[in-house]
Amino acid sequence: MKNADFIKAHDRVKDFDWKASYSPAAARYDMPYKIPTKTSDPFRHLVRDYCSMERDKDDRQYGAMSDVMARAKMPAKASERWTEVLKIALPLTCYAEYAAMKCTGQLVEAVDNAELRQGYLAQMIDEVRHVNQEAHLVRYLSKHSVDAEGFERGFKLRNSNFLMRASRACFDSFFAGNPIEGALNLQVVAETAYTNPLFVTLTEVAAANGDQATPTTFLSVQSDEARHMANGYATLAAIASVPDNLPRLQRDFDSAFWRQHTFLDTFISAVYDYFQENRGGSYHEAWTEWVDHDWAGGYIERLEPFGVSLPHGWAEAKERVKWVGHTAMMMLAATWPMQFIRIDPLNARDFDWFERKYPGWYDRYGKFWETYAEMSDPTHGQLPISLLGSVPPLCRVCHMPCVFPRPDISTLRIKDFGGRKHAFCSDGCERTFAFEPHRYAESRTWDEHFDGYSIAEYIEKCGLLRNDGKTLLAQPHLRADKRWTLDDIRRQQFCITDPLKNLPSQGAVVVLQ
């Protein structure tokens, strides 16, 4: 079809758009924004042709994984340190794709604009594909990896593992508010700012560590994300074109950035920096290129003439990103018995790399990792969580531990609201709560939910044992000869407690309008 004919056909298709005869979708979703009924189309695809293109991409991906990589036994040759973290990372990203699917479905229904809806529909098709692609990758690695136990647990532990609960707090923002708020979280921030560090740069780490299956999937996914970024830009342009939208838009954009930053920067940084065996660049370097220079400098700053500014807290986030991944990884390693992956101790080569990439790292984290290695043998009978002194509370908004950016300069604050104490990890999370406290005030954090459980009871309840019924899925090393058992944990007599019960309040939450 010639280009002129394609454009004519595409415009003709949009003439068949319709209005629902039942209750207005915008009213159901409590839409606070005015959206023009006519804008530019970010996709310019006919759905029939789009589905054909995506089918061809699927054939290439699944064919490569089932043929060449399977016959060459490539997953078994990958670094075990690297493949362990995929047991968490892949179920987590799979849920993010599911949440994105819900977001775009809501946008299709709620936004009365044929051009935008065409783009949202194509993206929803993409997100369904991505859910299946990443679930298939989990299944593929569980069949071919050296230590497959644990790959299926991430799907089951979305509510009972504290890291998975924090990921849900992040990704539920794609669909839990009004659809435009979801689009800001998903398309404008998560996809435009963070999918390049996740799906592009992280594939380089995977390939360098012998994993060819993950890049095959992730690069196929990322080929769609550029179009999703176009959806985000078209949505943002449409909203910003109505002056009455601008105050609410900036507020929701500020909250969207902070909610994605608190989890994504923290998690991706820990994955990127701590699970490499064949080391290359650092997450801070990737973040500076993709998020700071490309997203903030090349995209958001250019929107200021149209009424959209860099998000509130941007300068703080730039400082936090240097340390949040190290702090998160220390927390993950300290609580290793409650996880479902093996966390390899760092070696001298790792120490040199961290000090070179993050000057001052050893003074802040080195001693912990040295002691962690000493405690990795069950005959020593110690858990690294004892090194923390006290367990930090979890943030009411992002559900991450309130120890960021580093334990020595933590921005923790504890406030009263509605007859309960609430911990916040940062000013950004407290502001988000203060604008809409009804969305967060009644939720329970992981430590409130499991308050009073011993670690052994928690492990049994969550099924964190291997097939023999006594050896832990999680281990503080990669060795098969000195694995911890449930009896080793029972001897620790360590209980999960809710720290908020014993911490003083610092005042009341000031509700913002």
The verdict on residue 264 lying in a domain is: yes
Go through 182-212 and write b for each residue having 16 or more CB atoms within 10 A of its CB, e for each that does not: bbbbbbbbbbbbbbbbbbbbbbebbeebbbb
Query: What residues make up the domain containing 357?
Result: 42-65+79-502
For all residues of the chain together, what is the average pLDDT? 88
Cα–Cα distance between 194 and 403 in angstroms, integer?
23
Q: 84 lies in a domain?
A: yes
pLDDT digits (tens, 9 = 90+) for 212-269: 888 888 888 888 888 889 899 999 999 999 999 999 999 999 999 999 999 999 999 9
Average pLDDT over residues 179-192: 96
Q: What is the pLDDT of residues 407-452, one digit of tens each?
A: 999 999 999 999 999 999 999 999 999 999 999 999 999 999 999 9
Asked whether residue 19 is domain-assigned, the answer is no
For the chain, the domain total comes to 1
The residue ranking higher by pLDDT, 343 or 14, is: 343
pLDDT tens column, 377-405: 998 778 998 888 778 999 999 999 999 99
pLDDT band at 5, cuts 50/70/90?
Answer: low
pLDDT of res. 118: 84
Residues ≥6 apart with Cβ < 8 Å to 198: 93, 218, 264, 268
Residue positions annotated with a catalytic role:
97, 127, 130, 191, 225, 228
pLDDT at residue 8 in the model: 63
Write out the two tokens for 172.
Answer: 């539920």
Within-domain flag for 298: yes
Strand partners, 415: 422
Residue 152, pLDDT score = 87
Please check the confidence at residue 4 and state whether its pLDDT lies above 60.
Answer: no
Mean pLDDT of 327-334: 96
Mean pLDDT, rounded, for 458-485: 94
- Quick one: average pLDDT of 116-133? 90
What distance in Å separates the CA atoms of residue 279 and residue 273, rounded to the nearest whole number? 8
Kindly state the DSSP code that residue 246 receives in the 8-state scheme: H
Question: What value does the mean pLDDT take over residues 494-508?
Answer: 91
In the block, which residue shows the tokens 């911490």? 503
Q: Is residue 294 domain-resident?
A: yes
The C-alpha atoms of residue 333 and residue 499 are separated, in whole angstroms, by 19
- The pLDDT of 296-325, averaged and rounded, is 94
Residue 106 pLDDT level (bands cut at 50, 70, 90): very high
Cα 385 from Cα 399, distance rounded (Å): 19
The answer to whether position 470 is within a domain reads yes
Structure tokens at 282: 């650092």
CA angle at 408 for the pair 404 and 413, rounded to the nearest 5°: 55
Model confidence at 103: pLDDT above 50? yes
State the pLDDT at residue 78: 84
The answer to whether position 28 is within a domain reads no
pLDDT value at residue 122? 87
The predicted-structure confidence for 216-226, as pLDDT tens digits, reads as follows 888 888 888 88
Binned at pLDDT 50, 70 and 90, residue 42 comes out as low
Rounded Cα distance between 410 and 393, Å, is: 12
> Of the given ranges (23-27, 164-168, 401-405, 457-461), which has the lowest mean pLDDT?
23-27
How confident is residue 68, by pLDDT bands cut at 50, 70 and 90? very low
Query: End-to-end CA distance of the chain, in Å?
Result: 53
* Per-residue pLDDT at 139: 87
Of 396, 488, 388, 386, the C-alpha closest to 436 is: 396
* Calpha distance 511→201 (Å, rounded): 40
Helix axis angle for 47-64 and 114-144, nearest 10°, is 10
- Tell me the CATH number at 263: 1.10.620.20
User: Most confidently modeled of 143-152, 371-380, 425-434?
Assistant: 425-434
Q: Kindly state whether residue 61 falls inside one of the protein's structural domains.
A: yes
Q: Where are the alpha helices (DSSP H) in 145-201?
A: 153-156, 162-171, 179-183, 195
Please report, rounded to a whole number, the percentage of residues in the chain having pLDDT higher than 90: 64
